[in-house]
Structure 1
């Protein structure tokens, strides 16, 4: 049996959960991701698969390494996701003839055709989010800055340990 003794409180109180940044980010992320589900289900895509397809629609072809870097996904998450999309006929993966260690990913004709069916998704999401353009852009930029700060902080912590 494990010890269920609560952690000592010390001389301070923690802010309530709903006042913590981590909870606000978690709740917003879940809410927005769940908002995508009914829009992506008819397309046969999960949200991470949609992100991969959007990147391929934008760039045409990418290395697995590039996809992982842009979408901040590790190989353990990305590989099964790409296999599923390939099985569903939406992309193909091939070794790079210039570098056999690298795998290139490109949409198939079916994958490119899916773009037309997904065209209204960003607008539908934007309508529900319902922020003025300036506030939407300011929030997006603040979240990107927060992410960059956290990743830089993670790297500093890793160097210190």
Structure 2
């Protein structure tokens, strides 16, 4: 019988991630955006005006993949690009009004997803869980 509690940590992380992304897909589907676009948007909502190289590093995708995603996002009116003032060879990507508004609309719904996933954890357990995840991410990042 299937029992995810008896699986390895990698399986557990995969199971939680997959389930979380299924919830995310339900949230973003009405907005007409993909998971890849959503992830790019989250970085731009945090720090508007990033170069393609900076986005590649943060999103952790290859340049051609991100270039296609950004092209679609420009076409859909979510982002626009401007040449960097210091180095004209580089472009920085910025949210359009539509992209910014989308962030405000989705913020409440994202909190709901997170609350559903973590509903059995107390506030202190949630904080500790987030601290553990940050440490795990740091561990993984050190190896790269």
* Alignment-derived partner of residue 137 in structure 1: 127
Q: 1:96 to 1:141 in 2, by over 3 A?
A: same
The answer on 1:28 being equivalent to 2:16 is yes
**Which 5+ residue runs of structure 1 have no aligned equivalent?**
1-15, 156-161
After superposition, the CA RMSD in angstroms is: 2.2
Q: State the alpha-carbon separation in 2 of the partners of residues 133 and 32 from structure 1.
A: 20
C-alpha deviation, 1:118, in angstroms: 1.3
Please report the TM-score for the alignment, with normalisation by the length of structure 1. 0.75
* Alignment partners' CA distance in 1, 2:71 and 2:123: 37
1:76 corresponds to 2:64 = yes
1:87 corresponds in structure 2 to: 75
Task: Please tell me whether the aligned partners of residues 53 and 111 of structure 1 are also in contact (alpha carbons under 8 angstroms).
Answer: yes
Q: Tell me the distance in 1 between the aligned counterparts of 2:125 and 2:5.
A: 25
TM-score of the superposed pair, with normalisation by structure 2? 0.82
Q: Which runs of 5+ in 2 are unaligned?
A: none
1:106 aligned residue: 94
Larger radius of gyration: 1
CA-to-partner distance for each residue in 1:73-103, whole Å, 9 max, x for gaps?
Answer: 3323322111111111100123323213322
Task: Assess, with a 3 A threshold, how the Cα gap between structure 1 residues 76 and 147 changes in structure 2: closer, same or farther.
Answer: farther
C-alpha separation between the residues in 2 aligned to 1:76 and 1:139?
34
- Confirm whether residue 50 of structure 1 aligns to residue 29 of structure 2: no
CA contact (8 A) 1:68 1:74 kept: yes
CA positional deviation for 1:133: 2.2
